[in-house]
Structure 1
Amino acid sequence: MELESLLLTVIIIVNQIFCIVVSVNILSKKVFSQRFVLLAGILLGICGTVLFFYVEYYSLVFIAGILTLALRTKNKHWPVCIVTPLLTFLLLVVITYLMDTFLIGIFRLTNRPMDYGILTSGVLTSILYSMILLILTYVVSTGVSRLIRSKSYKTAINKNVYLFASILIITVIIIYSFIYIESLYHFPNEIIIFNGILFITLLVMIAITTFILVKINQRRVEIEKQEIEQYQLEKYIVALEKVSDDMSGFKHDYINILASLHGYIMNADKETMDEYFKSTIKPLLKD
């Protein structure tokens, strides 16, 4: 019985780590090959599971470190390498607690008792639970990836990358602290539901903060665009004024030339007119 319980625990932990690798690959625009994702998921799943039995949730630090270095080998910037695994941890926790809360709600509606052990009560149950978790992780990660790849969100995140990294680090620390406290009480339903609500609230707050920053960045871009357009308009007006002044000077010189020529013609002073032409008009033709 203890061996079966150990096997079921290993199945769930390995699957969760594999979900983390899949999600990181999706959020990083699939920089890793499918073969790498499969091998890394299996190897990290085995290593992470062994570490879990010794250091429990601190094994996530090892997983995050390995994934960060793997992203760095793909020439990703350090903030992106750090933020991506943290965002994956956050999404996976929220998905997991949504699933658990949903199952608890179903069992309560059917007046059947349920504790966290129901999720590891059998091999088929564990495999089904793991498959659903993997599918939801893929779907949610794909949706989040498309959102953060949009121009407005990508620009806002790039300009506030250190702020986002700080928020995610603090959030992940808070989340896993509450999970650790929950494990001390053997995962009672009430704490699972409370933590689920708390984690969803934190995710919503991060989403709202991101949305506000996006709007602020969009407004900043609009202001900068207006300032550039105003500067270009001022330069255009100055250029027009210069052209107008040049045209006015040309008109004045043109009238003077015509008046002089008219005077020479009226006086039949051909010699003086030829000299005026050579000294005044002919140099203009060379310009």
Structure 2
Amino acid sequence: MTTHERTAFDSAAAEDILLRACALAGLVADGVEMVRLGDHAVFRVAGGRVVSRVGRHADRLPSVRREVAVARWLEAVDYPSARLATDAEQPVVVEGHPVTFWGGLADGEKYASTREMGELLRRLHGLEPPPFDLPELHPFDKVKKRLEGAEIRVETRTYLAGLAEELTAEYRKLDFVLPPGHLHGDFNIGNVLRDAEGRPRVIDLDGFARGPREWDLIQTAMYYDSFGWHTEAEYTDFADGYGFDIRRWPGYTVLRSIRELLMVTWLSQNAGADARAAAEVEKRVETLRSGSSRRGWAPF
């Protein structure tokens, strides 16, 4: 199948790209299992011993190359993060889609404690900056592209685009209190997994950037505050582990709203191929419109 013939990045297309990348990297593609589909398609390969990430768009290539550089930097300073697998040059590129291979972490579903998360994030932010440039954080960069490609109702697209404009203006007014520096960019419980020895490791390194450290704290706070996915004790452990409670900062609600918007637009990418995702997008948008509780948002 050529680039021009491929019309959608769905699970079948992603797996086709993965199988071809495995051949190029010299990996035996047995036991392939999809984990999730978002900005990347994530697969377990070789019975979970390897995890592969297939970029949705060719424009993901710069961030994936940065992800590989970040992984090598963190390994060099002995920070507990995901490690690249195979001796092949990475990323492997198939039809413009960047594909990377990583050492599997346990069964992929054993998470760190929230206190460990806070301590790991504090340690990460305390590292000397990497020996290469990181881009500045631009939280809204992905919103436009996601909405352009999403198969959602016109009214929904218009509302989300308008909300993005409003929040962009609010973001520019924020007075951050933590010193800026390098960021993970997507720090949450799903991205801190245990390895085979039970040690926590930070994964999904493609969002590294420079910017306000508050950005790395927001998701754990809102997972407790907005969705009830963490208990109060778990959130307290996270804040104590890091040494700062972002909910006490006046700009918290603005960052929370931005992250909620990103969660909706991330999911909107799958609306055309997944009826459950499409329904969840509309449900989430209705709560954004009405200001009602987010407790009914289903994890994806």
Whether TM exceeds 0.5 here: the answer is: no
Greater CA radius of gyration, 1 or 2?
1
Identify the structure with the greater helix proportion: 1
The interval holding the TM-score normalised by the smaller chain is under 0.3
Q: Normalising by structure 2, what TM-score?
A: 0.22
Identify the structure with the greater strand proportion: 2
